[in-house]
Structure 1
Amino acid sequence: MSKPITTASGIPVADNQNSASAGVRGPLLLQDFHLIEKLQHFNRERIPERVVHAKGSGAYGIFTVTHDISRYTKAKLFAAVGKQAETFVRFSTVGGEKGSADTERDPRGFALRVYTEEGNWDLVGNNTPMFFIKDGIKFPDFIHTQKRDPQTNLKSATMMFDFWSKAPESLHQVTMLFSDRGTPDGYRHMDGFGSHTFSLINAAGERVYVKWHLKTQQGIRNLAAADAVRLAGEDPDYAQRDLFGAIERGEFPRWDVKLQVATEEQLAEWEARTGWNPFDLTKVWPHKDFPLIPVGVLELNRNPLNYHAEVEQAALSPANVVPGMGYSPDKMLQARLFAYHDAQLYRLGTNHQHLPVNAPRCPFHNQQRDGAMAIANGGAEQNYHTVEAGGSQPQGLGHGEPALALHGGAGRYDGRGQEDDYTQAGNLFRLLPEQEKQNLFANLAGPMSQISDEIINRQLGHFDKADPAYGAGVRAALKARGRNIG
C-alpha cells in the first residue's frame, strides 16, 4: 500500500489527481495550494549544474589505514594501522554537460571525501597526475575551449587546439588525454590522483610535501576509441551503470592509497638537477626519484539512495584538509582553494555544508548563522567570538602548520618561456607500447583534421619537440585522413 500524499509541510492531500476548479470545466482556483506547490517545486527541481564535472556518479565506502605514516603527519585519521573512516567518492567527466556520455574522451574527476574525527578531508583530483595549465587565471579560458562555440553552440576542435597549440605547457596532459587512458572503461578500472602537491605536518611541526595516488586493484582497463563512440550512443550512462551495478552485486571496487613524499630540501635539489618546478601541476614527480609509499585501501561498498541529495548536491573542496595536512605553493591549487567553495555557494547555497552528504561526522561549532537552508543553526549558543584582549594562545598557524617562508616581491611572474614543457611529455610518449602510440596518432588526427593548417603546424611543432617520432606519427595519421601537412 502506497504512503498517503502530503504537502511538503506534512498536510494530507485530499486529491492528487484533480485540480480545484470553478465548476467541472474550470478555470482553476489560486487557492489550490497543493497544485501551486507541486508546480512551483517542479519548476525548481534543477539546481545549476556544475560548470565542470557536471556528469558524475557517486558511492560510499571505507578507508582503512594499512601502513604507519605518523612520522609524516599528526592527522588522527592515520594514527593507527587498521583504523577506518567512512568515505564518499564522486567520479565524473570534466567538459560535458550533465546529460553527456560517460565514455567521451575527457579526463575523469576522482573526488574523495573522508569523514574523519577532525572534520572532512577532501582530495579532489582526477584520473591523471598532471593537468593542462599551471596557473588558475587561465582556467576559465581553458574550460571555455572545452565547452560550446558561442555562435554555433557546437563543440569546436579549433578552439581546443588553438588554445593547446599556444600553450605548450598543456602537451603532457594532451598526450595522456589522447592516449588510450583518455577513454577509461568505467570508473572502477582507472587510477586516481590528487595531482597537486600537498603537504603533511607531523607532531613535531615538521612539513613534508606529498602527492597522493589511488591505484585501482581492478587493473587499468580502457575502451578502444571506436567502442567509446559506440557506447556513447548505445549506453551514454555506461560508467554510472557499471559502478552502481558492481556495488549492488557485492563486487566492491578497491584502490590502494599511496604517497610520494619529499622534504623541501629534496625538492630543491631535484629542481636544481631537472629544472622542473615541483609545484607545477603540468609536471609529475618520477617514481624513480620519489617512490610510492603505501598508506591504505579505499573500498566502495554502498550506493546512494537518492542521487540528487547525495551525489548532485555533494560539495567537495580541496580547501578541506584536517590538522596534520596542508597545501603548497602550487598556483593551480591556490586558485582552487577559493574557486570550489565559491562555486558551491552559488550552486547549492550558503549552508551547503549542512546537507547530510556534506556535513562532517564529528561535532562542529562556528559562529555562522542564518541564510538559506540553515539546518544546523547553532540554536541559543553565542553567535560571536570575543577578542582576547590579553592575547590569545594559538596552537600554531592554521592547522598547526609551521610558517612557510616566502621569497620575492609581490607581482605577476611568467616563466613560461624558460620552462621545459617537452621532456616529460616525450617521456610519457616513449613509455607507450607501439600499438598505443598508433592509437594516440589516430585519436589526435581525428579532431586535428578539422582545424586550420596554421593551428595544425603549431601543434605539430610541439609534438616534434617532445619526440620527432611523435610528430611524424601524427603527420602520417593526418595524411591518411587527407590532410597532407609538411
Structure 2
Amino acid sequence: MAPPPILTNSQGQAIPNPPYATQRVGKHGPLLLQDIDLIDNLAHFDRERIPERVVHGRGSGAHGVFEVTDDITDICSADFLNEVGKKTKTFTRFSLVAAESGANDSARDVRGFATKFYTSEGILDFVYIHTPVFFIRDPSKFVDVNHVQKRNPQTNSKDPNAAWDFFTLNPETVHQVTILYTDRGTPASFRHMHGFSAHTFKWANANNDWVYVRIHQLTDQGIKNHTIEEAIRLAGENPDAAQDDLFNSIEQGDFPSWTCYVQTMTEEQAKNAPFSVFDMTKTWPHKDYPLRRFGKLTLNENPLNYFAEVEQAAFSPANTVPSMQPSADPVLQGRLFSYTDTQRYRLGVNFSQIPVNCPLKGGAQVYAPSERDGFMNVNGNYGKAPNYLTNRNKVTIKSFPIQQYQEVWEGPAEPFEWVATAAEFDQPADLYNNVLSETDRRNLAHNIGVDVAKVESEIQERVFKYFGGVSPDLAEAIKREVFQTGK
C-alpha cells in the first residue's frame, strides 16, 4: 500500500506543526504574521466562494454521452452528427433560473437544462429551459424580467408585487406565465422534465442549404410534477430533493435519458407563418412543423467534486460548431454576449481552461495565440510563441461557411420594440382550452391565486384582466382562489 499523503499548505510545503497549532508570542500571546500556514489557510477560506450566477444560481449536474440515432445530415453537417451510432461526451447542468444558490429544488421557477458537447470541432453548448417558450422577446427586458423575481432592494425579501407588476404590464409574458403556473412549474425531479431551445437557431447541410430549427429534448422517464402543496412540503423536508434524486439514480445505475428532436422551418415558411420565427414567446405547432428524432442524451456519471465540475461549468449559446449558428432571434443575440461575459466575471477570463469547460477534453486542438495572460492562465500560455498571428507559426486555417449569405438584411439602424397585440393570448388560450385537463386548469387557477393573494389590490385587478385574455373562466377561477386564500 502507498504511504498516506503528507499534509502540506497550498504550495506543497509540509506543515511542521500539529494541524491546529498556531504561532504566537508565548503560550497565550498574540498571533504572529510569520505563521504562513495559518495565513495560507485563512486567505483561501476568505476566497473559497466565487460569485454565484446572477441567474441559474442553484444547479445540479452530471456527465453523460450523446448518441446519434437518426441520420439528419440532410439538414446539418456538424461532425458529431455525421454518423448514426456516433457518440460524444457531454456534461449537463440543471438549474433553477431565478432562484439563488440557497433556494430549494421544488420552488416554482423555470428550470435550466444546459448540455456541453465535447465535439471534435470544439465546444457546443445547448443552453435550454424546461418550457418551450420564454417571458420576453426583447433583450432590453432581460434584466428586468430577472430582477423582478429577485429580492426587494429595501426589504431583501421576495416581492410578489414586482413580478406580477411586470407580467401584467408586459402581455407577451402571458404564455410563459400560464405554463409556469401549471404544475409544470414545479417538476418532481430534473429527470422528469423536458428541455427546449425556445430560441430559433439555423442549421445547414454540407451544401450550405439551411433551415431554421428549434430543439426538443423529451424525457424518457415521463413527465412528473408536484402540486403546490407537495412542493411546499418538500421544501421543508428536503430542499435538495431534485439534486439527491439525480445523483442517487445515476449512482444506482438508473441512468436518465432524453430523446432529442428537431423542428425545422424554411425561410419561405417563416415568411408565411402567423408569428415571427424570432419570437420566443411563441411555439411552433407540431402539425405544421413536426418533430424529427436525431439522438439520445444519457447521463451516466456523477461528478467527483461539485464545485470543480458543476459550479465551475460555464455555458453560453455563443458556443457553436460549424453548420449550427444563431439566428436573428433578438433575445438569443443578447445572450450570445451576456452569457460568456458573466463567465468571465465569475470564473475569470481564462475560464475555458478549467477542465470541465476545456475543449481539449473532446480532442479538439486549440490554438489561439492572442488569448494570452490574464488571471489563472494555466495551459502554458503558449510559451515563447508570438502573441499574434504570423506566418512564422505553422497553423491550419479551417474554412467553412458562416452562413453569411443566407439572410440579407436591409433598413436603417433604429430602436425597435415589439408592440403587444391581442395575438399574445392566442397560444396560451389554446393551451388552456385544448391541452390542459380539468385538473390542470383547476391547479393553474389555484397556483396563481395563492401567489396573487399576496400582492396589492391594484395589481390583483390587473392580474384578473391579464388572465381574462386567456379565458374569462380562468380569470373568475383565480378571483375565487384569491378570495379564499385571503380570507
Report the TM-score, using the length of structure 1 for normalisation: 0.95
CA 1:417–1:94 in structure 2 vs 1: closer, same or farther (change >3 Å)? closer
Say yes or no: does 1:334 pair with 2:336. Answer: no
CA offsets 1:29-57 (integer angstroms, 9 cap, x no match): 11111110000000000000001110100
Using the TM superposition, name which of 19-28 and 306-315 deviates more: 19-28
Q: Is the 8 A contact 1:205 1:401 kept in 2?
A: no
Using the TM superposition, name which of 37-46 and 258-267 deviates more: 258-267
Say yes or no: does 1:375 pair with 2:375. Answer: no
Shift, 1:473, TM fit:
1.8
- The one of 209, 212, 216 equivalent to 2:212 is 209
- The one of 467, 471, 477 equivalent to 1:473 is 477
Q: Is the 8 A contact 1:59 1:89 kept in 2?
A: yes
Shift, 1:141, TM fit:
1.0
- 2:151 corresponding residue in structure 1: 148
Shift, 1:10, TM fit:
1.0
Shift, 1:204, TM fit:
0.8
Q: Distance in 2 between matches of 1:196 and 1:79?
A: 24
Shift, 1:233, TM fit:
1.0
CA 1:54–1:173 in structure 2 vs 1: closer, same or farther (change >3 Å)? same
CA offsets 1:277-328 (integer angstroms, 9 cap, x no match): 1110111101111000001000000001111111101101000010110011
- 2:278 corresponding residue in structure 1: 279
Q: Is the 8 A contact 1:90 1:111 kept in 2?
A: yes
User: 1:9-28 alignment to 2 at 5 Å?
Assistant: 9-15=11-17, 16-28=19-31
Q: Distance in 2 between matches of 1:93 and 1:259?
A: 24
- 2:166 corresponding residue in structure 1: 163
Unaligned ranges ≥5, structure 1? none
Q: Distance in 1 between matches of 2:261 and 2:400?
A: 28
- The one of 24, 41, 44 equivalent to 1:41 is 44
Q: Is the 8 A contact 1:326 1:401 kept in 2?
A: no
Q: Which amino acid aligns with 1:4?
A: I
SS for the counterpart of 1:444 is helix
Ranges of 4+ aligned residues in structure 1 off by more than 6 Å: none
Q: Is the 8 A contact 1:247 1:253 kept in 2?
A: yes
Shift, 1:476, TM fit:
2.2
- 1:7 corresponding residue in structure 2: 9
User: 1:94-133 alignment to 2 at 5 Å?
Assistant: 94-133=97-136
Q: Which amino acid aligns with 2:74?
A: R
Unaligned ranges ≥5, structure 2? none
**Cα RMSD over matched residues?**
1.7
User: Taking every aligned residue pair, what percent have the same amino acid on both sides?
Assistant: 45
Say yes or no: does 1:413 pair with 2:452. Answer: no
Q: State how many pairs are aligned.
A: 475
- 1:74 corresponding residue in structure 2: 77
Q: Is the 8 A contact 1:190 1:216 kept in 2?
A: yes
Q: Distance in 2 between matches of 1:341 and 1:419?
A: 36
SS for the counterpart of 1:34 is helix
User: 1:186-265 alignment to 2 at 5 Å?
Assistant: 186-265=189-268
- The one of 436, 443, 450 equivalent to 2:440 is 436
CA 1:91–1:394 in structure 2 vs 1: closer, same or farther (change >3 Å)? closer
Q: Is the 8 A contact 2:322 2:401 kept in 1?
A: no
Q: Is the 8 A contact 2:323 2:401 kept in 1?
A: no
Q: Is the 8 A contact 1:397 1:403 kept in 2?
A: no
Using the TM superposition, name which of 20-29 and 151-160 deviates more: 20-29
SS for the counterpart of 2:355 is coil
Shift, 1:12, TM fit:
1.1
Q: Which amino acid aligns with 1:21?
A: R
Report the TM-score, using the length of structure 2 for normalisation: 0.95
Q: Distance in 1 between matches of 2:141 and 2:486?
A: 34
SS for the counterpart of 2:118 is strand
Shift, 1:17, TM fit:
2.1
SS for the counterpart of 2:191 is coil
Q: Is the 8 A contact 2:170 2:420 kept in 1?
A: no
Q: Is the 8 A contact 1:422 1:462 kept in 2?
A: no
